[in-house]
Amino acid sequence: MSPDVQLNLNVRGLEPSATVAINERCDKLLRQGRKIFKLGLGQSPFPVPEPVVEALRRHAAEKDYLPTKGLPALRRAVADHQRRVYGIDCAADDVLIGPGSKELMFLLQLVYYGDLIVPTPAWVSYAPQARIVGRHVHFLPTRAAESWRLTARKLDKLCRADPGRPRILVLNYPSNPTAATYTRDELEALAEVARQYRVILLSDEIYAKLTHGGEHASIVPLYPQGTIFSSGLSKWCGAGGWRLGVFVFPRGLRWLLDAMAAVASETYTSTCAPIQYAAVRAFEGGPEIDRYVELSRMIVRALGRRLARDLAAAGAAILPPQGGFYLFPDFSPLKERLAARGIRTSDALCARLLDDTGVAILPGRDFGRPSRELTARLAYVNFDGARALAAAAELPPGAELGDDFLTACCGEPLEAVARLCEWLG
């Protein structure tokens, strides 16, 4: 007889992450010979920039364990990058490198003792991580009418009810899933409330460089004492599978950094050595990498706008995307039509859509929204990013990427959304 099932209560019933699960479901349907449009997993469509790949080649033989907090040259390169790009005053000692920002977030929740505040809709993993380590999650629902953004008033109301309570608030902008970002004024207002109640901010700015307008404002300079900056190579550098994340801490939170590093030293020891050497090149930047980011941004902006227009024309409520490569339409205006087909929840909507059309998107419920709200997330990344980058690079400077470009280079997401719109009827 095999041993009894004796699972930690915190992980009992925990399902694989929604984004990973949809990807596996799509692969299964693909193996059955179905045509599938993978708009589920939010992975960058673009290849890693060549100078960074070249740096990885050069360092493939690096084999030693590195310091737990990260390769000193990389910690310096990240600090220099933060100063240069975002005007953030920091030093190499404030930087913690990890195997993906997701793992760093997990460590943060493990070592910090307090509540996690998550404005919804939110990226799928914040709350399950809190649950795994037994932290209390407080969801703060936002509204489409407020562009799915947390207001300072709402945060103030929550904190005022129990002012001394230790809390971490996650802010993610540009947002996965809503593609919304904050204005500087909104960030200032939030920073002021956070400062007043000494809330720690986890500022997840992993899509910062993919802000469609090019200008990203970080909250770090507005609340430098209490904000942890989070990013990595996964999104802007197309290197999700390389697993490299960075946190940058205020000096006053060094105790958190040190505690996370202590746990890291007892678990993964250090982040993959060749990847860290290559990441130095990525954070050093330069004209070739800047151009790569600029072209990536132009492509996701043009495609996002076009798809949002198509969805709006089909009757969905949707905000124009401001950053990243996601869309978060709300199909509630079509509620009656969908109910007539037996579709009353976002799960039912996505399951039926996948069965009927092969288009895979994720239900709003996975992002912390009520099950009966007919929202969903599309990750419009199912196109050949290398080809799109090469074609965009051929266009004259300043040229907008029009429908011809999108039809030639982004046919799959266009077709997926066309199928979705037709299915809506």
- Alpha carbon distances (Å) from 4 to 9, 140, 234, 314: 14, 39, 39, 52
Contact indicator for 235, 211 with CB cutoff of 8 Å: no
142 binds ligand PLP (CB under 6 A): no
42 binds ligand PLP (CB under 6 A): yes
Kindly tell me which residue out of 40, 49, 70, 100 binds ligand PLP, with binding defined by CB under 6 A: 100
Kindly tell me which residue out of 40, 45, 238, 245 binds ligand PLP, with binding defined by CB under 6 A: 245
* Binding characters for ligand PLP, 211-240, by CB under 6 A (x = yes): ---------------------x-x-----x
Q: CA-CA distance, 272 to 65, in Å (whole number)? A: 8
- Alpha carbon distances (Å) from 146 to 169, 171, 178, 186: 18, 15, 12, 11
* Omega prior to 174 cis, within 30 of 0: yes
Beta bridge partners of 199: none
Nearer to ligand PLP, 102 or 297 (CB): 102
Nearer to ligand PLP, 368 or 409 (CB): 368
In this chain, which stretch among 22-30, 100-108, 112-120, 216-224 interacts with ligand PLP, using CB under 6 A? 100-108
Contact indicator for 140, 127 with CB cutoff of 8 Å: no
Minimum CB separation from ligand PLP for residue 105, in Å? 7
Nearer to ligand PLP, 121 or 329 (CB): 121
Minimum CB separation from ligand PLP for residue 117, in Å? 16
Six-digit token pair at 242?
A: 């390389």
377 binds ligand PLP (CB under 6 A): no
Minimum CB separation from ligand PLP for residue 89, in Å? 24
| Residue number with the smallest Cβ distance to ligand PLP | 100
In this chain, which stretch among 29-37, 95-103, 273-281, 397-405 interacts with ligand PLP, using CB under 6 A? 95-103
Nearer to ligand PLP, 102 or 281 (CB): 102
Nearer to ligand PLP, 114 or 240 (CB): 240
Contact indicator for 167, 200 with CB cutoff of 8 Å: yes
Burial of 415 (0-12, 13-18, 19+ CB in 10 A): middle
Count of positions on this chain that bind ligand PLP (CB under 6 A): 13
Kindly tell me which residue out of 44, 147, 172, 346 binds ligand PLP, with binding defined by CB under 6 A: 172
Q: CA-CA distance, 39 to 37, in Å (whole number)? A: 6
b vs e for 342-362, b when ≥16 Cβ sit within 10 Å of the residue's Cβ?
A: ebebbbbbbeebbeebbbbbb
User: Which of 204, 202, 206, 205 shows the shortest CA–CA distance to 169?
Assistant: 202
Minimum CB separation from ligand PLP for residue 100, in Å? 3
Nearer to ligand PLP, 207 or 331 (CB): 207
Q: CA-CA distance, 97 to 161, in Å (whole number)? A: 36
> CB neighbours of 199 closer than 8 A, spacing ≥ 6?
117, 155, 159, 167, 168, 169, 193, 226
147 binds ligand PLP (CB under 6 A): no
User: Which of 310, 333, 308 shows the shortest CA–CA distance to 319?
Assistant: 308
204 binds ligand PLP (CB under 6 A): yes
Nearer to ligand PLP, 42 or 70 (CB): 42
- Return residues touching ligand PLP (CB under 6 A): 42, 100-102, 123, 172, 176, 204, 206, 232, 234, 240, 245
